[in-house]
Amino acid sequence: MANAAHVSRILSLYKRILLLHRFLPIELRALGDQYVKDEFRRHRAVTAPQDVRSFLKEWESYKDTLQAQVLESAGRGGKTAAFGAKLSEEKLAHFQDEQIGQLYELMLESRKPSRQFRIQEDDPRK
């Protein structure tokens, strides 16, 4: 069973990522929130120390990158910011088949039209 400090660290990371997602465009936020929730849920039962370390290392890196991009975006005074990072071939080469499949599904999802997320102002003629 995981100790309380370990669980607290994971929950803190999870909450911080979801908090940072609030600064993303709505389409990215909806997609990102769902992906993060699914990944953390999927890894809830992982007990192998190396797998846990790898999981936390990658999500900490994601959090740090996103935090830097959010701060950079805030410094631009409302101008459109770029979010995300290139995935190196070296990292990609270490992915398992399941991870490649997840990445492909994420790419497909990110390319779908975002009409369901568009917020329209109320018609003033009503």
Question: pLDDT band at residue 18, thresholds of 50, 70 and 90?
Answer: very high
**CA–CA distances in Å: residue 13 to residues 5, 63, 93, 98:** 12, 8, 26, 24
Q: Count Cα neighbours of 82 within 13 Å in the Cβ-side half-sphere.
A: 3
CB 20 within 8 A of CB 63: yes
Q: How far is CA 89 from the centre of its chain?
A: 20
Give the count of beta carbons closer than 10 Å to the beta carbon of residue 20.
20
What pLDDT is recorded for position 95?
85
- pTM, 2 dp: 0.74
The 3-state DSSP class for residue 126 equals coil
Tokens 């088949």 sit at which residue? Answer: 97
- Digit-coded pLDDT (tens) for 39-88: 999 888 888 888 888 899 999 999 999 999 998 888 776 666 778 888 88
Indicate the range of 21-25, 41-45, 100-104, 113-117 predicted with least confidence.
113-117
Question: pLDDT band at residue 116, thresholds of 50, 70 and 90?
Answer: low
Residues ≥6 apart with Cβ < 8 Å to 29:
21, 22
